[in-house]
Each structure stands twice: as C-alpha cells, then as structure tokens.
Amino acid sequence: NAGVMQNPRHLVRRRGQEARLRCSPMKGHSHVYWYRQLPEEGLKFMVYLQKENIIDESGMPKERFSAEFPKEGPSILRIQQVVRGDSAAYFCASSPGVVDTQYFGPGTRLTVL
Amino acid sequence: QKEVEQDPGPLSVPEGAIVSLNCTYSNSAFQYFMWYRQYSRKGPELLMYTYSSGNKEDGRFTAQVDKSSKYISLFIRDSQPSDSATYLCATSLMDTGRRALTFGSGTRLQVQP
C-alpha cells in the first residue's frame, strides 16, 4: 500500500510566480491535511479537506493561499504571487476517517528566489 | 505561550541509553496524543498514539500521558544510532470538524555509537 505521495519534492519559484503543490492520499483515505514547516520551526496546520469540501481552513493565510481536494485527482495547495517568506517545507497528511491518525507524505520543499 | 512546549535539544546520548523526551501542553481540551519521528529532510513518521492517561508500549518505545499535569513523554529503551532524528510530540482535539494537529517544536536526538 503506497504511502502519501507528494509532488514535486522540490520546487523553485521566483517572487511573484505561482506554486502548485500536489498530494495524493493513501489508498482508502478521504481526509487530507496540509501543514507548513518553516526553517527551525515546528509543523503548523494550514487546512483540512475532504473530497470537494474544505472542513477547516483556520491555519491558512488570508491571502494568496488556497486549497482544493476535487472528486477526482490529488489535493492541490496553491500559492499565488509567492514571496520569500513562503519558502518552507509543505507536508500533506491523510487519514481514513475523521478521528483516525494522520500519516504524512515526504513533503515539498519550496524555495522562493 | 505556545500550546505545546518541547525542549529543542539537541540531546546526545550513548548507544544503549534510555532516552526520555518530554512535552507539556496548555489546552486541557486536547484528548489525542502522538509522537512522530522525523529524519532530516523527510516527512514525519508516526511512532505512537494514545487517547488516555497512562502508558502505552510498542517494542522499545513507551508513550506516557498524564492529563492531570498536561505532560506527555516518550521513552526509548536500548537506543540505537538509527534512532538519531527529531522527535515531535503532537496533540489534537476530538472534534470532528477540527482535526488539526498541534505540534511541539521537536527535540533533536543524537545517539552516539
């Protein structure tokens, strides 16, 4: 059973460009979570999604960031007009149900030049 | 005050030592407790999880939760160089609409051969 998959693993963008990060949950998992890990800081929750629904986006920055989990295909975290402060590791996690443990993917390391 | 406090270390021990890693949390509503291990530039890997106060053992690892003092611990027996990693404690509510994990900042462990 493949784990949580994320791509790309590394992404380099210039200031002002858009970044799209993809996450495919584990087979049978319908709950997806996104976290951000800034250099020398802990993991911070961003958003929790189920298929076609955003359940909790209390950790998402108010501007430039959006997330979706369509009926078909991976979950997407989109960052518009990236700035240097967006440079971080972005991790996706998934769980089979609402109260189950979350399993993390390998992360996407975003570097903004 | 952070919701979950964790000593960042680094903690250096000789091979075979017993390791004690600790976290405190401030929100008494947290009901679910986890320990993750994260190797450098990798995603967090779930080690242990528990819902209740007391001890839970899995091989060389024991997780301990004391809800009365809001204190969680992870003990590693017979530590190995391969245990060298950053250890993250995490907590969450049991609210179906709020599944965010709140992480400590992580303790970096180095096991010397």
- Closest alpha carbon within chain B to A60: B100
Give the minimum alpha-carbon distance from B110 to chain A in angstroms, rounded to a whole number. Answer: 17
Following DSSP, what letter does each residue of B58-113 receive, concatenated?
ETTEEEEEETTTTEEEEEESS--GGG-EEEEEEEE---TT----EE---EEEEEE-
CB interface of B with A, residues 8-37, below 8 Å: 32, 34, 36
CB B19 within 8 A of CB B76: yes
Asked whether the beta carbons of residue B101 and residue A45 sit closer than 8 angstroms, the reply is yes
Q: Look up tokens 């250096």; give the residue.
A: B12
- For residue A17, the SS3 value is coil
- For residue A26, the SS3 value is coil
- Among A9-23, B31-45, B82-96, name the most confident range: A9-23
Q: Kindly give the residue spans of alpha helices, DSSP state H, lying in A1-113.
A: none
Does B17 score more than 90 pLDDT? yes
Query: B106: which 2 tokens?
Result: 């992580």
- Closest alpha carbon within chain B to A6: B43
The total number of residues shown for chain B amounts to 113
- Closest alpha carbon within chain A to B86: A42
Examine residue A106 and say whether the peptide bond preceding it is cis (omega within 30 degrees of 0): no
- Walk along chain A (113 residues) and give the pLDDT tens digit of each residue: 579 999 999 999 999 999 999 999 999 899 999 999 987 778 999 999 998 899 999 999 999 999 999 999 999 999 999 999 999 999 999 998 766 789 999 999 999 99
Asked whether the beta carbons of residue A43 and residue B88 sit closer than 8 angstroms, the reply is yes
| For residues B31-54, average pLDDT | 91
Please tell me the predicted confidence (pLDDT) of residue A98.
66
Query: Residue A46: phi, psi to the nearest 5?
Result: -115, -60
Asked whether the beta carbons of residue B99 and residue A56 sit closer than 8 angstroms, the reply is yes
Q: Among the listed ranges A41-45, A78-82, B22-26, B80-84, which one has the minimum average pLDDT value?
A: A41-45
User: B53-64 pLDDT, tens per residue?
Assistant: 889 999 999 999
CB B91 within 8 A of CB B4: yes
Among B43, B100, B105, the residue with its CB nearest the CB of A104 is B43
Query: A17: which 2 tokens?
Result: 């460009």
Query: Residue A92: phi, psi to the nearest 5?
Result: -110, 145
